[in-house]
């Protein structure tokens, strides 16, 4: 809708100061950034730091380039003074792994600073002594950087000491935290009961914001169905209701508040007043028959931000009134629940019909789209038939006003029925293992048609619905829904019909509708009933292969997505993006990464939504999905595919199935207090493998409107340990660093990205082997090269020295491709020194080579070797590769 397009920034993106002029890396202007970064507040362990600086300039006139940079700083809130930056010693220069424009060169500087409590800094620079000094704030818009020394132990065990003026109306209880180095409290206050079917509500002041905080972060309700990130400095100013709110204090410690819902029929959120005080707002749907009605806020304090978020989230699991509902007990004992031993649909490349085929959805358009994928050798294993397949009434011109008539597909697009369509899909495309269909939780956007077959078969109820608050979602004022008495039978019958038709999964959308009814009794009696019925039917018929969509409202998060007693399932972790609205692309990735700061601790698999492989942001989206830890699925218009990009996402396993490479840890933003318009990279951290021996992944995305260059320390990568040496590899070039360790002078990697740019860095731990021939040999398994998260292709990896003095690297990988091994002594060796087997058979020497990107990386073309050796793939769903060489 045109109006919605125009209002996207106002609706979605928080306000910020004016951005500097747009520029790219071909600009003659210098690009610079420090570490710790300008504009941010960074806690560190002690009071000594070397502030690092990268200055990227045009190389057109080296005679003029006599750059000077001065650090202006205030230590411990004293007066300001200056200190000159000095060029970094060549041995300690940050690693450059990317291709840099021939028009640009990097210069690296550092300056040591000591302080007791805090350091505030900015800088100014000039090209030569004849040039005027330029302040970085004026040229690039960066605010001062702040560095604080972390206080290692809490200053008090009394919550009131952290909040100062804690409202005495709250009942405060100390709780045992399950997260390390954190303190935890619960706050409870009464909420009025619902009367005359109208919810009881109460706004309760908690306290002023934590004393001397530097930054705040919140996850707010972005209209009814979604949450979104907000950041700020200075006074707390929440424009929307928040579920979670966190503060970084001047002591480098963190305080996190979580408003808990789905306890005693109460929904709780956080708000702020005009003075910046933190408030809680509670809505109770409980009545005299359910008289307990309390608002619950959890508060955690600790040195580590993620540990504090984990503390409040883990404890919220314990606050359910009953450990299991009757429906959950039924789930536990049901003999109908099936176990699937074949490839789960999260692990293969998927295809969705929504943006690709849209409202013109028929059996023929689906079959034609799948034929197009096959002609282009795009191997998918999952198909999602999105909206517009169902039988709906014709009420109104807007689809959001329409309602469901019957379980069967509409006859206009699917004349032989859903089962016949599924049968033809599977016959024509046997590589597709999973076929899912879309539906709304209430049946369709407008619920159940009162004039259809379903209304005659199940008891229904008519309910008033509140407005969605979105111009693109004009819902009906009154909705007919299946009643409490029949919702279990409805879902059992619906999913039995779908399963009989060959459907193996569902995408259940518009879940917020059950929280959108005006009636307090309707929410109280129906909300959990619908979730229980949906989950039970999903388990019985689809082994919980589902996508939960538009379900980031508090009651759903705490009732259906939190509890570890239920199998994990896919949940959309942010609102849609809109392909025709450029501003929505980067924001979509940003919002998903920030939301997963909280959602990583839920019992879900994050779903960052479909994307198209062709477009300005195609690679940006693809990289984000790969590091997310969630599923990867495309929605390409027939005939419009970027095959080169798709090959970086997925590969084929020996059974001919598509495989994507999902890290084992959920991807999330590593810088929660950095704002969307702060002029910094979005850093998404993930991890694959066992603790200490796995691979750390850092996806770097330029969400700003100008080119950026930054310094990234190895210590920022998730899961790295100070006792381990690593090599860091850049996906874009395949180059690797020399061995480095965190928190050392050599730990920095330089990253330069234009607008819409992205990079994926992977840090591989080195295994050191003592060799009689070469001395110490350091080895790392790099996984499948050319794949964005090829490290996640590694199922197992074992390195051992044999009794004959030979070294064995035994690895199993998920799919075909080029396997990479970093070997520190490779320059002293030849290909003849290696013997490689696949499935215990020697491979042709021509399939082994030294990488052109790095002469310390050995490449083994497993796919080519398999083909040349004509190995039988019938019985394998993974590939075992063994590498022998003499040490």
Residue 13 lies in a domain: no
* Single residue among 642, 664, 686 that ends a domain in this structure: 664
* Phi, psi (degrees; rounded to nearest 5) at 152: -75, -30
Q: DSSP readout, 770-831?
A: EETTTEEEEEEEEEEETSTTGGGGEEEEEEEE-TTSEEEEEEEESS-SEEEEEETTGGG--G
Check pLDDT > 90 for residue 306. yes
Residue 130 belongs to domain with CATH number? 2.60.40.10
Residue labelled with tokens 């005693």: 264
The answer to whether the pTM exceeds 0.85 is yes
Q: Which is more confidently placed, 338 or 211?
A: 211
Tell me: do 140 and 167 sit in the same domain: no
Check pLDDT > 90 for residue 669. yes
CB burial of residue 746 (10 Å; 0-12, 13-18, 19+): middle
Tell me: do 427 and 562 sit in the same domain: yes
CB atoms under 10 Å from CB of 135, counted, come to 13
List, in order, residues 6 or more apart from 457 with CB less than 8 Å away: none
List, in order, residues 6 or more apart from 23 with CB less than 8 Å away: 29, 31, 706, 707
Residue 698 lies in a domain: no
Residue 1 lies in a domain: no
Of 668, 655, 590, nearest in space to 627 by CA: 668
Q: Mean pLDDT of all residues in the chain?
A: 93
For residue 163, what pLDDT is reported?
87
Sheet with 665-669: list strands edge to edge.
665-669, 682-688, 695-701, 758-765, 726-730
The pLDDT tens digits for 91-130 are: 999 999 999 876 789 999 999 999 999 999 999 999 999 9
Residue 333 lies in a domain: no
Check pLDDT > 70 for residue 353. yes
How many CA within 13 A on the CB side of residue 174?
Answer: 7
Cis preceding linkage at 671, omega within 30: no
For residue 842, what pLDDT is reported?
98
Based on the structure, what is the number of domains in the chain?
4
Tell me: do 538 and 602 sit in the same domain: yes
Structure tokens at 857: 């990386």
Strand partners, 796: 812
Tell me: do 195 and 99 sit in the same domain: no
Least confident residue range of 209-213, 341-345, 883-887: 341-345
Tell me: do 209 and 145 sit in the same domain: no
Of 551, 640, 650, 641, nearest in space to 604 by CA: 551
The pLDDT tens digits for 16-69 are: 544 444 555 555 689 999 999 999 999 999 999 999 999 999 876 666 778 999
CA distance 510 to 440: 5
CB-based burial, 283-303: b 16+ in 10 Å, e otherwise: bbbbbeeeeebbbbbbbbbbb
For residue 268, what pLDDT is reported?
98
Angle, helices 583-599 vs 618-628, to 10°: value is 10
Residue 45 lies in a domain: yes
* Phi, psi (degrees; rounded to nearest 5) at 274: -65, -15
Check pLDDT > 50 for residue 333. no
Q: Region 754-783: what's the mean pLDDT?
A: 96
* Single residue among 627, 646, 664 that ends a domain in this structure: 664
Q: Are strands 434-440 and 505-509 parallel, antiparallel or unpaired?
A: parallel
Q: Region 352-380: what's the mean pLDDT?
A: 96
* % of the chain exceeding 90 in pLDDT: 83
Q: Region 657-668: what's the mean pLDDT?
A: 97
The pLDDT tens digits for 497-520 are: 999 999 999 999 999 999 999 999
Cα radius of gyration rounded to whole Å, the chain: 28
Tell me: do 195 and 75 sit in the same domain: no
For residue 324, what pLDDT is reported?
43
The model's confidence at residue 82, banded by pLDDT at 50, 70 and 90, is: very high
Q: Which is more confidently placed, 307 or 342?
A: 307
For residue 590, what pLDDT is reported?
99
Residue 8 lies in a domain: no
Under 8 Å between Cβ of 416 and 461: no
Residue labelled with tokens 């509500």: 201
What is the span of the domain harbouring residue 824?
A: 767-887
Residue 494 lies in a domain: yes
Tell me: do 317 and 359 sit in the same domain: no
The pLDDT tens digits for 436-482 are: 999 999 999 999 999 999 999 999 999 998 865 555 677 888 999 99
The pLDDT tens digits for 562-601 are: 988 888 999 999 999 988 899 999 999 999 999 999 999 9
CB burial of residue 431 (10 Å; 0-12, 13-18, 19+): middle
The pLDDT tens digits for 619-637 are: 999 999 999 999 999 999 9
* Single residue among 617, 639, 664 that ends a domain in this structure: 664
Q: Tell me how far apart the 2 most distant CA atoms of the chain are, in Å.
A: 86
Tell me: do 265 and 293 sit in the same domain: yes
Residue 281 lies in a domain: yes
Q: DSSP readout, 207-268?
A: ESPPTTEEEEEEEEEETTTEEEEEEEESS---SS-EEEEEEEETTS-EEEEEEE-SBTTEEE
> How many degrees, rounded to 5, is the angle at CA 673 between CA 110 and CA 631?
110
Tell me: do 309 and 367 sit in the same domain: no
The model's confidence at residue 335, banded by pLDDT at 50, 70 and 90, is: very low
For residue 643, what pLDDT is reported?
98
Structure tokens at 382: 């999952």
Residue 496 belongs to domain with CATH number? 3.20.20.70
Structure tokens at 118: 């805090």
For residue 804, what pLDDT is reported?
84
Q: DSSP readout, 305-346?
A: HHHHHHHHHHHHGGG-SSSS-HHHHHHHH-TTPPP--S--GG
The model's confidence at residue 607, banded by pLDDT at 50, 70 and 90, is: very high
Q: Region 875-879: what's the mean pLDDT?
A: 83
Tell me: do 225 and 114 sit in the same domain: no
Q: Region 685-698: what's the mean pLDDT?
A: 97
The model's confidence at residue 10, banded by pLDDT at 50, 70 and 90, is: low
For residue 290, what pLDDT is reported?
79
Tell me: do 240 and 143 sit in the same domain: no
CA distance 363 to 347: 26
Tell me: do 388 and 536 sit in the same domain: yes
């Amino acid at each position: 809708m045109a109006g919605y397009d125009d209002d996207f920034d106002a609706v979605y993106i928080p306000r910020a100061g004016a951005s500097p002029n747009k520029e790219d890396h071909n600009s003659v202007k210098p690009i610079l950034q420090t570490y710790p970064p300008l504009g941010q507040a960074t806690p560190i362990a002690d009071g000594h730091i070397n502030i690092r600086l990268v200055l990227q300039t045009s190389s057109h006139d080296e005679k003029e380039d006599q750059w000077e940079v001065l650090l202006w700083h205030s230590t411990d809130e004293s007066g300001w003074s200056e200190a000159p930056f000095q060029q970094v010693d060549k041995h300690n220069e940050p690693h450059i792994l990317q291709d840099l424009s021939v028009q640009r060169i990097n210069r690296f500087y550092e300056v040591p600073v000591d302080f007791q409590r805090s350091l505030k800094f900015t800088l100014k620079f000039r090209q030569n002594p004849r040039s005027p000094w330029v302040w970085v704030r004026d040229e690039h818009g960066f605010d001062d950087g702040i560095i604080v020394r972390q206080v290692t132990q809490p200053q008090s065990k009394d919550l009131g000491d952290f909040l100062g003026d804690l409202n005495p109306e709250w009942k405060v209880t100390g709780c045992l935290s399950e997260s390390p180095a954190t303190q935890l409290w619960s706050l409870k206050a009464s909420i009025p009961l619902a009367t005359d079917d109208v919810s009881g509500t109460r706004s309760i002041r908690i306290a002023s914001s934590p004393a001397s905080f530097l930054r705040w972060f919140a996850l707010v309700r972005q209209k009814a169905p979604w949450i979104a990130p907000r950041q700020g400095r200075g006074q707390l100013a929440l424009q929307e209701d928040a579920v979670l709110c966190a503060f970084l204090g001047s002591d480098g410690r963190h305080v996190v508040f979580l408003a808990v819902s789905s306890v005693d029929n109460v929904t709780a959120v956080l708000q702020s007043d005009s003075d910046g005080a933190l408030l809680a707002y509670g809505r109770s749907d409980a009545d005299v028959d359910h008289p307990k009605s309390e608002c619950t806020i959890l508060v955690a304090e600790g040195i580590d931000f993620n540990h504090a978020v984990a503390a409040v989230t883990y404890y919220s699991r314990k606050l359910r009134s009953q450990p299991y509902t009757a429906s959950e007990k039924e789930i536990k004992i049901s003999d109908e629940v099936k176990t699937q031993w074949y490839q789960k649909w999260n692990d293969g490349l998927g295809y969705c019909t929504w943006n690709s085929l849209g409202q013109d959805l028929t059996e023929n358009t689906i079959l034609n789209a799948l034929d197009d994928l096959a002609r282009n050798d795009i191997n998918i294993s999952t198909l999602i038939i999105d909206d517009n397949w169902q039988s709906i009434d014709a009420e109104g011109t807007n689809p959001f006003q329409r309602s469901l008539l019957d379980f069967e597909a509409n006859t206009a697009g699917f004349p032989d029925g859903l089962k016949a369509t599924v049968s033809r899909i599977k016959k024509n495309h046997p590589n597709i293992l999973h076929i899912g269909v879309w539906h709304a939780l209430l049946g369709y956007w407008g619920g159940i048609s009162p004039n259809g077959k379903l209304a005659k078969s199940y008891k229904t109820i008519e309910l008033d619905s509140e407005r969605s608050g979105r111009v693109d979602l004009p819902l009906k004022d009154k909705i007919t829904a299946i009643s409490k008495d029949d919702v279990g039978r409805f879902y059992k019958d619906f999913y039995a019909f779908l399963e009989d038709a060959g459907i193996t999964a569902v995408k259940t959308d518009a879940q917020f509708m059950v929280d959108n009814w005006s009636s307090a009794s309707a929410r109280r009696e129906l909300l959990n009933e619908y979730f229980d019925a949906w989950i039970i039917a999903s388990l019985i018929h689809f082994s919980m292969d589902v996508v939960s969509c538009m379900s980031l409202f508090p009651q759903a998060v705490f009732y259906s997505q939190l509890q570890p007693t239920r199998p994990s399932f896919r949940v959309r972790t942010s609102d849609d993006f809109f392909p025709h609205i450029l501003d929505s692309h980067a924001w979509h990735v940003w919002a998903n990464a920030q939301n997963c700061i909280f959602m990583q601790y839920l019992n879900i698999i994050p779903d960052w939504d479909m994307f198209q492989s062709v477009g300005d942001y195609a690679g940006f989206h693809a990289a984000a999905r790969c590091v997310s830890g969630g599923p990867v699925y495309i929605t390409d218009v027939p005939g419009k595919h970027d095959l080169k990009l798709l090959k970086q996402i997925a590969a084929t396993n020996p059974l001919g199935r598509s495989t994507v490479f999902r890290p084992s840890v959920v991807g999330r933003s590593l810088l929660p207090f950095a704002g969307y318009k702060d002029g910094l990279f979005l850093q998404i951290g993930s991890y694959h493998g066992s603790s200490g021996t796995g691979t750390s992944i850092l996806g770097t995305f330029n969400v700003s409107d100008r080119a950026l260059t930054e310094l990234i320390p190895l210590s920022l990568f998730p899961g790295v340990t100070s006792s381990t040496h690593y090599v860091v590899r850049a996906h874009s070039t395949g180059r690797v660093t020399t061995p480095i360790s965190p928190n050392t002078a050599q730990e920095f990697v330089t990253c330069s990205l234009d607008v819409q740019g992205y990079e994926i860095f992977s840090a591989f731990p080195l295994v050191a082997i003592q060799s009689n021939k070469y001395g110490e040999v350091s080895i790392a398994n790099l996984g499948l090269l050319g794949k964005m998260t090829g490290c996640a292709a590694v199922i197992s990896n074992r390195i051992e020295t044999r009794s004959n003095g030979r070294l064995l690297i035994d690895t199993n990988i998920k799919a075909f491709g080029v396997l990479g091994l970093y070997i520190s002594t490779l320059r002293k060796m030849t290909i003849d020194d290696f013997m490689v087997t696949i499935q215990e058979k020697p491979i042709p020497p021509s399939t082994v080579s030294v990488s052109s990107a790095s002469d310390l990386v050995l490449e083994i073309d497993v796919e080519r070797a398999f083909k040349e050796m004509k190995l039988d793939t019938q019985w394998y769903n993974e590939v075992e590769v063994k590498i022998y060489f003499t040490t």
